[in-house]
Chains A and B, each alone.
Chain A
Amino acid sequence: MKNIIKLATATLSMLLAFTSCNNSKQSSSGALASNVADKVYVAPGEHDEFYAFISGGFNGQLSVYGLPSGRLFKVIPVFSQDAEKAYGYSEETKPMLNTSFGFVPWDDLHHPDISQTNGKLDGRYVFVNGNNTPRIAKVDLTTFETTEIIEIPNSAGNHSSSYVTDNTEYVVAGTRFAVPIPQKDIPIKEYKGNFKGTLSFIKVNPEDGGMSIKFQLLMPGFDYDKAHPGRGKSHGWFFFTTYNTEEASTLLEVNASQNDKDFIAAVNWKKIEEYVNNGGGKTVPANYAHNVYDEPTQMATSTLKKEVLIVDPAEVPGAVYFLPTPKSPHGCDVDPTGEYIVGSGKLSANVTVHSYTKMIDAIENKKFAGEAYGIPILNFEDVLAGAVEQPGLGPLHTEFDNEGNAYTSFFISSEIVKWKLGTWEVVDRQPCYYSVGHLMIPGGNSQKPFGKYVLAMNKITKDRYLPTGPEVTQSAQLYDISGNKMELLLDFPTVGEPHYAAGCPADIIKPHSKKIFSLEDNKHPFATKSELDTKVIRDGNTVHIYMTTIRSHFSPDNIEGIKVGDKVYFHVTNLEQDYDVPHGVSMIGANTSELLIMPGQTETFLWEPKQVGVWPFYCTDFCSALHQEMQGYVRVSGPQSNTPLKWSLGEDIE
């Protein structure tokens, strides 16, 4: 009897299970899908739909994730040395981290932005800014490697960057900290009027992406926080949020929050470009590093530039205006049509939206409310398009979809609020866990957003993951925004602090991703393209080893005649021409990192032997079944010894 009941219950529950299955299938085609896991599941061997380039903040690196899965593919070293990839350790890449202050092996990487053509993502480069020692870097998306870094002179705290214009004409850098320009030894209390802020416009060569500072706009000593280029109709303008218009130099927590309104600076860069092209501006002495990685020679070179062009906005009438914006605005975001400029006043109850059309109208009719250091201030009411009334606490940043909706992050109330452009009505809100900073919709700051997901980057995770001591992981959260209601799909941990991100459909980038470097095109001065050319050359105390690798041996793998006190350069060429067959190499006691050499590439590390003996080196990246056999020996003799310099592979040194 009991068994019969059990059987009946089981049958019933199975039936129920099947019925509910059917139900869920039906609803998954509607707006209220119930199977969240399905939406982020990318089956083994399948590819994600989007790339997400997420800043690593204080780790100085840029992480590459797939969306919607949240899987991490690569951590690209940009401003920080990376022992894994020998970035900043190999002789070839050390110059990348050179600055006017010397070698700076770290920076605080904040805001990635993807290059654009006609206001749409073109997937060629990611530009990122270093905040601490002001720099802008360019990551090439064929190799996913940092290929250029330019230091920004007359700047401190390069925060309002690195955003690109509709055709990647310019990438901008704006100073967060006002400083004396040029730098000089004066009392800090003499800040007001003596300290300045610069907004730098870095020209990007349309052919090869090469960067050069076209001009620096010398602005009042405010803090320039975030920026966004005009889009479409407002192309030709650039907008920068400011705070600390109080020009305080101490206790900014209080002193920079006194004014009811700060400004968004509207810069007509086309006008200034024209002025500069006609000989305007003043060339002044400067000192900044420009580091370029050349792919054919696989070498970075660092050049110290000695001058820069400064433009005083007072000398270019009609080029710069201030739009009053409440309470220390952070995010400065322009919608895909280019009409709306959204200022997120961190300490304001409302999200303020300015109108480009009204701004132009006010400028044409010269309706000014005053001026600051010679720069006209427009009337708040004249340029205001509308405000989202009390949507939440602590608005920070706004992204856009392709259907006229805006998504603003609220740090203090820890949520994303979706609202409508034009009517300013709030249509949805979802909590974030916890304290969201910036948001990212792929293409969300271009003319063509891909409004399928919004990614929230959170400042605090607390209890969301297994604890790992006092320092816990940072995290991102993925929301589906394809329906009327946003839906939280996924939490995933991030590397470093995710300040900001840029996303792009994979199809735009994937076809151009390089598989190997062509050995034939390798122009490295120490390349060895064939085992027949391997050699060891002594030049005084310096020894150059021209070495090759292929599965699974080094050539040469026995070397004698090295002496204590030598400087030994291992120039190692990977002869492989097959996808995904890098080799690594390191030498016992080398005071540097391993090399990780891609097929067709040459890299160099320095070893300074300190002890007599026979010392091994080996392949550090698993390459084949005989990887463990991939090794060699260097015999190190005393400084005065007469051991002849010899090398071999496959036979004893005689």
Chain B
Amino acid sequence: MTTRLIFISLCFAIFLMNCGGKEDKKKEGFSYEKKTATEHTVKTAETVPASKQVALNNKGVGPITSIELDAEINQDLAAKGEDVYKKMCTACHRPDKKFIGPPPTGILERRSPEWIMNMILNPEGMVQKDPLAKALLIEFNGSPMANQNLTQEEARAVLEYFRTLK
């Protein structure tokens, strides 16, 4: 009987101590909660965030398997792409700064044209099957890339517009 009582009291004491410890931390303010986004990308060997990785051979998963780009940028097509981009993409992507998602400026130095179009046309499939797309989802706080139901032609125009963003 007595042993049990002692045990319970002990547990209670430990419990109280734990509580006390937390209270101490509170006094320190908010700094302990703050972590950078990169720390979120868990315990992989990579230290380069997904958005900065260069993966020009990765074509991604989706309807686009091969795209040939002309050496010259087609300015008409790019203008069309800019129009589509403004209407469909700017809610989450600003051209040159991180917003909800990453900025498209310089994206062709990091991604293949096929990957870019597949990400636009098949975001659900990409997030499930493409490791890089999955890593990007985590890096960007779990914000899903919305499928804005672009046609292949529209996505191709957006790609051309991206080529002008350097």
Residues of A at under 8 Å CB distance from B?
516, 519-520, 529-532, 548, 550-553, 555, 575-578, 581, 624-626, 650
Given known A576-B146, A577-B147, A626-B142, contact A531–B91 (CB-CB < 8 A)? yes
Minimum C-beta distance from B79 to chain A (A): 16
Q: Which residue of B lies closest to A575 (CB)?
A: B91
Given known A516-B149, A577-B148, contact A530–B143 (CB-CB < 8 A)? no
Q: Beyond the given A531-B91, A532-B86, A624-B143, please list 17 additional residue pairs across the A-B interface where CB-CB is below 8 A.
A: A516-B149, A520-B87, A530-B91, A531-B90, A532-B90, A575-B91, A576-B146, A576-B148, A577-B88, A577-B149, A577-B150, A578-B146, A578-B147, A624-B142, A625-B142, A625-B144, A650-B99
- In the bound complex, residues from chain B placing their C-beta under 8 Å from that of A625 are 142-144
Q: How far is the CA of A650 from the CA of B91 in the complex (A)?
A: 11
Q: How far is the CA of A585 from the CA of B128 in the complex (A)?
A: 29
Q: How far is the CA of A530 from the CA of B86 in the complex (A)?
A: 7
11 CB-based A-B contacts, threshold 8 Å: A516-B149, A519-B88, A520-B87, A530-B90, A532-B90, A550-B146, A551-B143, A576-B148, A577-B148, A577-B150, A626-B143
Residues of B at under 8 Å CB distance from A?
86-88, 90-92, 99-100, 141-144, 146-150
Check A548–B91 contact: CB distance below 8 A: yes
- In the bound complex, residues from chain A placing their C-beta under 8 Å from that of B92 are 550
Cross-chain pair count, CB within 8 angstroms: 49
Main secondary structure of the interface of B (DSSP, over half): loop
Check A555–B142 contact: CB distance below 8 A: no
Q: How far is the CA of A520 from the CA of B88 in the complex (A)?
A: 10
Q: How far is the CA of A553 from the CA of B91 in the complex (A)?
A: 9
- In the bound complex, residues from chain A placing their C-beta under 8 Å from that of B100 are 553
Q: How far is the CA of A555 from the CA of B87 in the complex (A)?
A: 14
- In the bound complex, residues from chain A placing their C-beta under 8 Å from that of B143 are 551-552, 624-626
Q: How far is the CA of A574 from the CA of B90 in the complex (A)?
A: 14
* 9 nearest CB pairs, A to B: A577-B149, A550-B91, A625-B142, A578-B147, A577-B148, A531-B91, A575-B91, A531-B90, A624-B144
Q: Which residue of A lies closest to B150 (CB)?
A: A577
Q: How far is the CA of A576 from the CA of B88 in the complex (A)?
A: 8
- In the bound complex, residues from chain A placing their C-beta under 8 Å from that of B142 are 624-626
Given known A530-B90, A575-B91, contact A551–B144 (CB-CB < 8 A)? yes
- In the bound complex, residues from chain B placing their C-beta under 8 Å from that of A553 are 91, 100
Q: How far is the CA of A649 from the CA of B146 in the complex (A)?
A: 19
Q: How far is the CA of A625 from the CA of B87 in the complex (A)?
A: 24
- In the bound complex, residues from chain B placing their C-beta under 8 Å from that of A519 are 87-88
Main secondary structure of the interface of A (DSSP, over half): loop
Q: Which of A552, A578, A650 contacts B148 (CB 8 A)?
A: A578
- In the bound complex, residues from chain B placing their C-beta under 8 Å from that of A555 are 91
Q: Which residue of A lies closest to B123 (CB)?
A: A578
- In the bound complex, residues from chain B placing their C-beta under 8 Å from that of A548 are 91
- In the bound complex, residues from chain A placing their C-beta under 8 Å from that of B87 are 519-520, 529-530
Minimum C-beta distance from B22 to chain A (A): 24
- In the bound complex, residues from chain B placing their C-beta under 8 Å from that of A578 are 146-149
- In the bound complex, residues from chain B placing their C-beta under 8 Å from that of A581 are 146
Q: How far is the CA of A575 from the CA of B142 in the complex (A)?
A: 19
Q: How far is the CA of A575 from the CA of B89 in the complex (A)?
A: 9
Q: Which residue of B lies closest to A555 (CB)?
A: B91
Minimum C-beta distance from B90 to chain A (A): 5
Q: Which residue of A lies closest to B91 (CB)?
A: A550
Q: Which residue of B lies closest to A624 (CB)?
A: B144
Q: How far is the CA of A260 from the CA of B150 in the complex (A)?
A: 68
* Most interface-central of B86, B91, B92 (chain A CB within 10 A): B91
Minimum C-beta distance from A289 to chain B (A): 37
- In the bound complex, residues from chain B placing their C-beta under 8 Å from that of A551 are 143-144, 146
Q: Which residue of B lies closest to A518 (CB)?
A: B149
Minimum C-beta distance from A257 to chain B (A): 61
Q: How far is the CA of A159 from the CA of B150 in the complex (A)?
A: 47
Minimum C-beta distance from B98 to chain A (A): 10
Q: Which residue of B lies closest to A600 (CB)?
A: B149
Q: How far is the CA of A551 from the CA of B147 in the complex (A)?
A: 11
Q: How far is the CA of A448 from the CA of B141 in the complex (A)?
A: 55
Q: How far is the CA of A111 from the CA of B57 in the complex (A)?
A: 62
Q: How far is the CA of A532 from the CA of B92 in the complex (A)?
A: 11
Q: How far is the CA of A552 from the CA of B99 in the complex (A)?
A: 12
Q: How far is the CA of A400 from the CA of B33 in the complex (A)?
A: 70
Q: How far is the CA of A530 from the CA of B144 in the complex (A)?
A: 19
Q: How far is the CA of A551 from the CA of B140 in the complex (A)?
A: 13
Q: Which residue of A lies closest to B87 (CB)?
A: A530
Q: How far is the CA of A482 from the CA of B146 in the complex (A)?
A: 47
Q: How far is the CA of A110 from the CA of B141 in the complex (A)?
A: 50
Minimum C-beta distance from A573 to chain B (A): 10
Q: Which residue of B lies closest to A515 (CB)?
A: B149
- In the bound complex, residues from chain B placing their C-beta under 8 Å from that of A624 are 142-144
Minimum C-beta distance from A508 to chain B (A): 25
- In the bound complex, residues from chain A placing their C-beta under 8 Å from that of B99 are 650
* Most interface-central of B92, B146, B147 (chain A CB within 10 A): B146
* Most interface-central of B100, B147, B149, B150 (chain A CB within 10 A): B149
Minimum C-beta distance from B87 to chain A (A): 6
Q: How far is the CA of A200 from the CA of B86 in the complex (A)?
A: 51
Minimum C-beta distance from A546 to chain B (A): 14
Q: Which residue of A lies closest to B100 (CB)?
A: A553
Minimum C-beta distance from A486 to chain B (A): 46
- In the bound complex, residues from chain A placing their C-beta under 8 Å from that of B147 are 577-578
Q: Which residue of A lies closest to B86 (CB)?
A: A530
Q: How far is the CA of A86 from the CA of B141 in the complex (A)?
A: 32
Minimum C-beta distance from A649 to chain B (A): 9
Minimum C-beta distance from B123 to chain A (A): 9
Q: How far is the CA of A625 from the CA of B144 in the complex (A)?
A: 8
- In the bound complex, residues from chain B placing their C-beta under 8 Å from that of A577 are 88, 146-150
Q: How far is the CA of A469 from the CA of B136 in the complex (A)?
A: 53
Q: How far is the CA of A650 from the CA of B92 in the complex (A)?
A: 11
Q: Which residue of A lies closest to B148 (CB)?
A: A577
- In the bound complex, residues from chain B placing their C-beta under 8 Å from that of A650 are 99
Q: Which residue of A lies closest to B141 (CB)?
A: A626
